[in-house]
Amino acid sequence: MHKGETVGPLDTAVGYVLKEAASALRGAMDTTLRPLNLTVPQYACLELLGQRPGLSNADLARGAFVTRQSMNVVLQGLEARGLVVRPAEAAHGRQLPAELTPAGRAQLQAASTAVRAVEVRMCAGLSPARQKELLATLAVCARNLTETT
């Protein structure tokens, strides 16, 4: 067996460490958001809407890396809790632009700071330059995989 043809030791595989880091981040965010009665997809939805009000269900799904169906369930839950509002009818096409309520904005504020603390803890010991490079490198990886070519 030639070297490099298989995945090789786990600790040296980029995919494995990537999944490890993502899993750790997911777990940390999960425990951090639990006191706020928010799941990670719910928080992602709030964060998206806070930065880009009026996003449709499909847009939110793409932004949170889930399917439209899952995001729809998330939106319904958030709507029932009074954190998000959607018009009953679409003004243009079928898109239903969602927006945060004041309560939703308050919830987002608390959740966002909590999540920010998790990110800070995750990047502890990393120089700003290294964080920049990590950001750019991960973006390249994502683009390489999402390209349809």
Partner DNA sequence: TCCTGGATGTCAAAGTCCTGACATCGCCGA
Partner DNA sequence: TCGGCGATGTCAGGACTTTGACATCCAGGA
What is the rounded distance in angstroms from the CA atom of residue 135 to the CA atom of residue 122? Answer: 13
Angle between helix axes 40-51 and 102-122 (nearest 10 degrees) is: 110
Which region among 53-61, 76-84, 90-98, 121-129 touches its own copies (by CB under 8 A)? 121-129
Q: Which amino acid is at 75?
A: L
Q: Could you tell me the smallest distance in angstroms from the CB atom of residue 88 to its own copies?
A: 29
**Distance between CA atoms of residues 65 and 121, nearest Å:** 23
Residues in the chain: 149
* Smallest distance from its own copies to CB 70, Å: 13
Binding mask 5-34 for its own copies (x = CB under 8 A): xxx-xxxxxxx-xxxxxxxxxxxxx-----
Q: Which position among 36, 125, 128, 148 is part of the footprint of its own copies (CB under 8 A)?
A: 125
Residues 6+ apart with CB under 8 A from 47: 108, 111, 112, 115
Identify which of 114, 87, 116, 117 has the alpha carbon closest to the alpha carbon of residue 99.
87
Interface with DNA in residues 82-101 (CB under 7 A): 90, 92-96
Please report whether residue 128 would count as binding its own copies according to CB under 8 A: no
Residue 97 Cβ, how far from its own copies at the closest point, in Å? 18
Residue 100 β-bridge partners: 84
Smallest gap from Cβ 102 to its own copies, in A, equals 16
Which residues here bind its own copies, judged by CB under 8 A? 4-7, 9-15, 17-29, 47-48, 51, 63, 65, 109, 112-113, 115-116, 118-119, 121-126, 130-131, 133-135, 137-142, 144-146
